[in-house]
Every structure is written in C-alpha cells, then in structure tokens.
C-alpha cells in the first residue's frame, strides 16, 4: 500500500537468525528521523541499538518487547498521519501472511559463508559479500582476539553497494594458528597475500585496534595496494595500552573470568552477553590458539607497552586519504593517542563509546567509512 513503510528485524552478522526488541525508545505516533535510534535489539551475541532507515511517523510498533522474532519479521510500520488505521491493519496482515510462506527460508539459503584460502602456507578464512559491485573493494581487519564477526554491524551495510571482505588474521578465528614472529609485518603480509590470491590489486583498508596497526603497516610497506585507511582505535599510536586486558584475555579459562575482561571493550557493559564470553572461550580451547595469542602479545605488547609505534610515519603516506575513529571512553587504548596527529588526518572522537565503536556506534562508523571511501574514489578517478 502506498505511503506505508515496513521496518523489519535486521540481521546482525551471519549467525543471527532471530532477535527481540529489548526495549522501544520512541512511542507510537512519534516523528522519527533517518538514523535515529528507536529500539534496542537483543540477539544471543549482543544487544545493539536499531536506527531507523527512514524518516516519518512511527504509526505502529508491531513487535512487543521481549518477543522473539526471525530476521526479516515485521517490527514496526512508518506512515504519514493521513494513512487510515484500517490501511495500516491491512498492510500488517498482508505482510505477515506473506512472510509466513517461507520468506526466512529464502534468506537463509542466500546467506554467504566464510571461505578459506592458502596464503603463503597459511589457511586464511575470509567472508566476501557484495561481489557483484564494481569499484575498489573494502577490506576489514579485526583486532587482538577478534575475528571477522567483529564487523557484523559493518560488513552488511558496506556490502550494499561495495565488494567487502572481512578476514581472520593468523592466530584468530578460522585461520591458521601459525603466526610466525607475530609482528605487524607478518600479519600485514597475510592480508597482502589474501588480496593477491583474490586478484585484488588495491583495497580500502579498515582496521580496528591491532588490525589498525596491521593496516597502517601494510600502507607503509605497499602503498600502491591501499586506496584509503580508516583506523578505528588503532594500536601503534602510542606506548600505553591496558596490559591487564591483554593478559586477562589470554589467561581467562572460565566465563566469570572472561566476562569482566570483555566488558572493558564497551562503554555499555550490558552489551557483553554470556554467549559472547562462551564463544571466545571455545575459540581459545582450539589447538594452537594459546601459543598464537601469546606470541602476538609478547611481540607487540611486551611488559604492557606497545612495541612498534607507527603514528609518526603517517606523513609518509603522501596524500593517501586517512581517518582516525576513536571512542571517547576507550579503556584499552587511550583516546589521547589521537591527539597531535599530522595535518590532513581527519579525526573523529565518538561520544559514549568504548574500544568497539564499530559496534556501539555502528551507524556513525559506517557513514564515516563510506564517506572516506567515496572521497578517495573521487580523488583518484581518472579524468
């Protein structure tokens, strides 16, 4: 029906099949704006704010709080005040009837799955989406102890109009647990090798924490392969780091030990779920993980200090579009590391966000990445 816009349960990451409205933050009848947070959506992995993709009047909240719903199910309806309630009722009934015929099954069948490639004798797991789109791809590089799922709120959005690849660094996720010396050069060469194996000559790099240092290392070593750099709370910008987080992550063997360690990643501690802690503990029990993490930590964060500082070399990038994104409440890497950077480096400090702004402030981070990618493409477009 004309003038009626459905809002549906979003998909946060590949593993999400259902979610529930933890709480609505705006009432029925309220006028909402694009990007305004209107609800908190809870999954087994994490709770995240749901930002409206449209503007208008929230005419009907279809999903009740604490009601489990599959991805794609109708949660609300936006429509102008002139649309009769009877039309809203008819729209909801028709949507739910059609959805019940198997819409969720079709979605599940088309969900992309991670793949693995041999890169220099190491298996590297990656997830590729948006392959149908032209243009320079975006590559997403996670931080210490993370994996490609750290981009669950980022990759689906960027892949709407851009080929996007998230990978597991050596020692992490489904990649080989052989990390060599565990230094930034070894890790960055794994990224370069994956791009070569995928026949990608140049990419926009997005790196978080340790992944930010890896991305910067790659840009310094192979500048012709990098189109832009978006560095989110990057390592290698100063010596200070919460060494207790690194040690705690490596040493935790039970949920009650892992939970407070993971809470350091977020301003909103409630985002850390039991499943999140349990999943990480399962990963840590895999053969080779403990040694791999220990090697990376000893090489990069010995004695609770960062060992390789690269921020002073940003001037060597010679016009490469670079931006820094940091949460103002980061407990792992001090936001002060974003101060006094060279001219031309755009810096964005996001309020009410910890070390994982790509999760706590997903919409803003996604916009910043997309904007820099567009700017970089326009700058280097042949005339």
Per-residue confidence (pLDDT) for residue 108, from 0 to 100: 45
The answer to whether 238 touches 306, Cβ cutoff 8 Å, is yes
The answer to whether 28 touches 58, Cβ cutoff 8 Å, is yes
- What is each CA distance from 271 to 23, 40, 165, in whole angstroms? 14, 11, 25
Q: What does the alpha-carbon distance between residue 228 and residue 376 come to, in Å, rounded to a whole number?
A: 6
Q: What are 308-341's pLDDT values in tens digits?
A: 999 999 999 988 999 999 999 999 999 999 998 9
- Specify the pTM: 0.84
Q: Which helix (H) or strand (E) holds 230?
A: strand 226-232
Alpha helix locations (H) across the chain? 85-99, 103-110, 155-158, 184-197, 210-221, 243-251, 255-263, 274-284, 289-300, 357-360, 362-379
Per-residue DSSP letter, 90: H
Per-residue confidence (pLDDT) for residue 112, from 0 to 100: 80
Question: How many other CB atoms are there within 10 angstroms of residue 34's CB atom?
Answer: 11
Q: Does domain 4-109 have CATH number 3.40.50.300?
A: no
Q: What does the alpha-carbon distance between residue 26 and residue 60 come to, in Å, rounded to a whole number?
A: 11
Per-residue confidence (pLDDT) for residue 16, from 0 to 100: 74
Task: Show the tokens assigned to 252.
Answer: 């935790």
- Mention the CATH class of domain 115-379: alpha beta
- What is each CA distance from 61 to 28, 42, 98, 104, 330, in whole angstroms? 6, 16, 19, 21, 34
DSSP SS3 for 36: coil
Q: What does the alpha-carbon distance between residue 372 and residue 323 come to, in Å, rounded to a whole number?
A: 8
Pairing of strands 37-42, 47-51: antiparallel
Domain assignments of the chain as residue spans, ordered by start: 4-109, 115-379
Q: What does the alpha-carbon distance between residue 137 and residue 145 come to, in Å, rounded to a whole number?
A: 24
Q: Which residues of the chain have pLDDT under 70?
A: 1-2, 13-15, 102-111, 380-383
Per-residue confidence (pLDDT) for residue 105, from 0 to 100: 46
Task: Show the tokens assigned to 41.
Answer: 């959506």
Per-residue confidence (pLDDT) for residue 359, from 0 to 100: 92
Identify the sign of the CA torsion 256, 270, 213, 121: positive
Angle between helices 255-263 and 243-251 (to 10 degrees): 150
Question: How many other CB atoms are there within 10 angstroms of residue 61's CB atom?
Answer: 19
Per-residue confidence (pLDDT) for residue 10, from 0 to 100: 84
Q: What does the alpha-carbon distance between residue 296 and residue 276 come to, in Å, rounded to a whole number?
A: 22
- What is each CA distance from 46 to 61, 153, 169, 331, 356, in whole angstroms? 22, 11, 22, 19, 12
Per-residue DSSP letter, 54: S
Q: What does the alpha-carbon distance between residue 91 and residue 112 come to, in Å, rounded to a whole number?
A: 31
Task: Show the tokens assigned to 61.
Answer: 């909240």
Q: What does the alpha-carbon distance between residue 71 and residue 104 come to, in Å, rounded to a whole number?
A: 7
Nearest residue to 120 (alpha-carbon basis) of 160, 172, 166, 180? 180
**Greatest CA separation found in the chain?**
67
Using alpha carbons only, give the angle 99, 101, 102 rounded to the nearest 5 degrees: 80
- Per-residue 3-state assignment (H helix, E strand, C coil) for 123-169: EEEEEEECCCCCCCCEEEECCCCCCHHHHCCCHHHHCCCCCEEEECC
């Amino acid at each position: 029906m004309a003038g009626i816009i459905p809002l549906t349960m979003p998909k946060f990451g590949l593993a999400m099949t259902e979610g529930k409205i933890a709480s609505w933050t705006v009432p029925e009848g309220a006028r909402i704006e694009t990007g305004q947070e209107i609800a908190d959506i809870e999954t087994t992995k994490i709770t995240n704010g749901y930002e409206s993709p449209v503007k208008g009047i929230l005419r009907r909240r279809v999903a009740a709080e604490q009601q489990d719903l599959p991805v794609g199910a109708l949660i609300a309806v936006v429509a102008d005040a002139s649309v009769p309630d009877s039309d809203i009722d008819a729209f909801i009934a028709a949507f739910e009837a059609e959805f019940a015929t198997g819409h969720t099954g079709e979605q599940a069948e088309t969900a992309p799955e991670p793949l693995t490639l041999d890169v220099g004798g190491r298996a590297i797991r990656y997830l590729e989406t948006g392959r149908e789109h032209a243009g320079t791809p975006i590559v997403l590089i996670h931080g210490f102890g993370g994996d490609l799922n750290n981009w669950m709120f980022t990759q689906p959005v960027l892949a709407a109009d851009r080929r996007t690849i998230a990978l597991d660094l050596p020692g992490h996720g489904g990649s080989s647990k052989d990390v060599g010396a565990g230094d930034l050069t070894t890790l960055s060469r794994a990224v370069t090798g994956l791009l070569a194996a995928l026949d990608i000559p140049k990419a926009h790099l997005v790196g978080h924490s340790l992944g930010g240092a890896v991305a910067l290392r790659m840009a310094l070593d192979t500048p012709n392969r990098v189109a832009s750099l978006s560095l989110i709370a990057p390592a290698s910008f100063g010596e200070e780091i919460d060494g207790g987080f690194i040690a705690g992550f490596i040493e935790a063997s039970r949920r009650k030990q892992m939970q407070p360690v993971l809470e350091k990643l977020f301003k909103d501690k409630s985002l850390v779920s039991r499943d999140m802690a349990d999943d990480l503990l399962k990963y840590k029990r895999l053969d080779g993980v403990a040694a791999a993490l220990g090697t990376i930590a000893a090489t990069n964060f010995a004695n609770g200090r960062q060992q390789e500082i690269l921020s002073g070399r940003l001037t060597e990038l010679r016009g490469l579009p670079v931006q820094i994104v940091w949460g103002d409440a980061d407990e792992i890497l001090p936001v002060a590391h974003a101060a006094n950077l060279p001219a031309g480096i755009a810096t964005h400090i996001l309020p009410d966000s910890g070390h994982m702004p790509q999760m706590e402030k997903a919409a803003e981070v996604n916009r910043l990445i997309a904007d820099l990618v567009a700017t970089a493409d326009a700058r280097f477009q042949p005339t």
